[in-house]
Amino acid sequence: MSIDLTLTGQAKDLGGGFLVSRLLPAASRQSVGPFVFFDHFGPLEVQAGENHDVRPHPHIGLATVTYLFDGAILHRDSLGSVQRIEPGAINWMTAGRGIVHSERAPEDLRDKAYLQHGLQLWAALPQAHEEAAPDFAHTPASDIPVVVSGAAEVRVLIGEAFGQTSPVRTFSKTVYLDIRLAAGSHVDLPPLADELALYGVEGDLAVDGEVLAARTLAILAPSEATRITATEPARFMVLGGDALDGHRFIWWNFVSSRKERIAQAGDDWTAQRMGQVADDKEFIPLPERRL
């Protein structure tokens, strides 16, 4: 594999000065495998008394995939799920026909300074499952397979790789790996999926000899394999899977193969017909601009 396209993130303010780097969707590439959305947040020094709470908001047609390197998030949703998200765990929330959730600072961190750093991706559901029942699945870090391949440490977050299979269940072939490499070492990445990309979290890499700077997403061209070399201590993600089964419309927090379904979700949210997070009266209103 060689690099077919590189994408750099666009700064987005989620409110209150909480900036993220958004890699997907991009003008030149909407998706990689099922992944249609990719945000990298932090590392951010959260001061004591500060918070970057995300109030209750809805989703349809997708699964959110939350992964932390540092910090913690308290997830609550309209199914009644309450889950503290910590580094190394995979949290897969199937929105399907509709779910509402919030992401807030845990109570024990609200009066402390801490580092917040992680990724949130969205996987579009196959058309046959866009209206699936909503669900939330937490897989703790201790249940994620870890493989040592030469000088590489590979955490198989989702899918199959290097002889290991993640326990995370998905609706289509999906690959998501967290790989660490020592300076000067390399790993040979097999063709794990039809569509595959690399994202450098920390440290520069060489992909078949081509330099890839940190915080850059590289879409890989189809090939037999690729050699990834760390020019310094590095950490990177591998993501991809089967290509989407058709175009997806993406607007606000909604993903669907049908434009009219997104319009309906907007009406449902305005009328508060999508459920509520228990004991939380706050919510993010629908933006005025429509798709």
DSSP at 80: -
Query: Given this model, what pLDDT does residue 16 score?
Result: 66
- Asked if residues 136 and 277 have their Cβ atoms less than 8 Å apart, the reply is no
> What is the band of 1 on the pLDDT scale with cuts at 50, 70, 90?
low
Instruction: Measure the CA–CA gap between 66 and 85, rounded to whole angstroms.
Output: 8
Using alpha carbons, list the distances in angstroms from residue 49 to 15, 53, 55, 89, 114.
Answer: 16, 12, 17, 26, 11
At residue 198, the pLDDT reads: 98
- Phi, psi (degrees; rounded to nearest 5) at 108: -70, -10
Region 5-14 average pLDDT: 94
Chain segment 77-135, per-residue pLDDT in tens: 999 999 999 999 999 999 999 999 999 999 999 999 999 999 999 999 999 999 999 99
Task: Determine how many CB atoms are found less than 10 A away from the CB of residue 246.
Answer: 9
**Residue 43 burial (CB count, 10 A):** 13
Domain ranges of the chain: 3-241
Angle at 216 between CA 210 and CA 221, to 5 degrees: 55
Indicate the SS3 state at residue 238. Answer: strand
Q: Quick check: bond before 167 cis, omega within 30?
A: no
pLDDT tens for 265-291 read: 999 999 999 999 999 999 999 998 776
φ, ψ of residue 42 to 5 degrees: the values are 85, -170
Note the pLDDT of residue 81. Answer: 99
On whether the CB atoms of residues 24 and 67 are closer than 8 A, the answer is no
Q: What SS3 class is residue 167?
A: coil
Nearest to 202 by CA among 231, 227, 240, 239: 231
* Alpha helical stretches, state H, 142-287: 259-270
Q: Which of 11-15, 21-25, 148-152 has the lowest mean pLDDT?
A: 11-15
pLDDT (0 to 100) of residue 224: 79
The rounded percent of the chain whose pLDDT value lies above 70 is: 99
For the segment 55-61, the average pLDDT, to the nearest whole number, is 98
Report the pLDDT value the prediction gives residue 264, as an integer from 0 to 100.
98
Residue 203 CB coordination number (10 Å): 18
3-241, CATH topology level: Jelly Rolls (2.60.120)
As a dihedral over the C-alpha atoms of residue 134, residue 140, residue 145, residue 146, rounded to 10 degrees, the angle is 140
How would residue 204 be classed by pLDDT, with cut points 50, 70 and 90?
A: very high
For strands 54-59 and 99-104, give the pairing: antiparallel
pLDDT, mean over the chain: 96
Cα–Cα distance measured from residue 38 to residue 26, given in angstroms and rounded to the nearest whole number: 10
Assign 206 to helix, strand or coil. Answer: strand
